[in-house]
Structure 1
Amino acid sequence: MNAGDFGLARFLFEATENQSISTGLKGSIGYVAPEYGMGGKASTFGDVYSFGILLLEMFTGKRPTDKLFTDGLSLYQFTKMAFCARLMDIVDPEILSEEVEAINNNNNENYINPRNRMHDCLLSMFRIGVSCCAESPRERMVMGDVVMEIHSIGDLYLVIRVYKDRESKVLASQEDSSYLSD
């Protein structure tokens, strides 16, 4: 994906107001909103679509141009099919290995239901990605809502982690002081 793909709608909308998108739209294959290929006018909904694809790519580890996506299957459809029941099967293994390593390094004591927390965080992020890529532009989330939801997910994820880290440090200091008093 090119950095220029975001904001493309606003830039080209002024330049191509009376033209079809097919003559004025530039962008990376797989990230350009499908309505542009059908002559739709550039809009911020197209940018939301591109952002959604980027989120899905980040969390699956698959590009929208991956060889897996043939015969009408897209990254969006792939994710949507696995959304709830098989979500953890499509998550990029690198994300899961980092979380497992963090859990193992902290002996599972610094986390509240680490598997559930990770699943809930990923489910929320995938839900945003899928919502941004809805086939109809009007069904897509607006970017302001996307930003608020991502901040909420981050706040919840970090608050739980910080709380448990502090709790762990308090317990460790209590163990250290009991060791000194023995």
Structure 2
Amino acid sequence: MTERRLRAGATVWALAAATLALTACSDQKTQDQAASAPPVAVGSETRTPATPAPTPATGQTGGSTVGGDGSEIQLSALTPADMQANATQGELACGFAADGATLLTAQGFVASKDAAQGLVKVTGYVERVAAPGGFDGMLKGATFTGAGKTVVIAVTGPATGGGESPPSPATLTYQRADGASRVIPGTWTCGP
């Protein structure tokens, strides 16, 4: 009986030693990984930097993406086919353009509390956004929201040119749910 106890004790000790060795190896790997990519404090949590994203596709306008998981925010021009396939409702429209490309379009009703409906094309997909206040709520810029995104249009100066719907200098700030954002300068035009 004593011999059995000795064998059982030796087995327990061998398992404990193996577990301890595996734990030490696991801790070493974690320490090595931490040394290669120092964590960054963001608010109340710590994040390890992601692998750098490839450079954006040609035709991208504005600044680069800041923050988030490291992937680029890629906005594309809305085509007439995109707008026809994803019709929005409203009496009058506003649009944000950069380098001749329409990056956001929205329609709303005058003197309405209903949200203005808009479209933006992200990574090749047309996505819907909405802003409170109808058409009137968009005249001086607007904050559009949609699934996992906020798009802020900020008018940065007086309208240039004449006519019924002159463009105003503005910025489009696209904010993703993971904290990434990208600011693009352009123009904001509202009217018939």
Q: TM-score, normalised by structure 1?
A: 0.21
CA radius of gyration, larger in? 2
Provide the TM-score with structure 2 as the length reference. 0.21
Higher relative contact order (CA closer than 8 Å, sequence separation 6+): 1
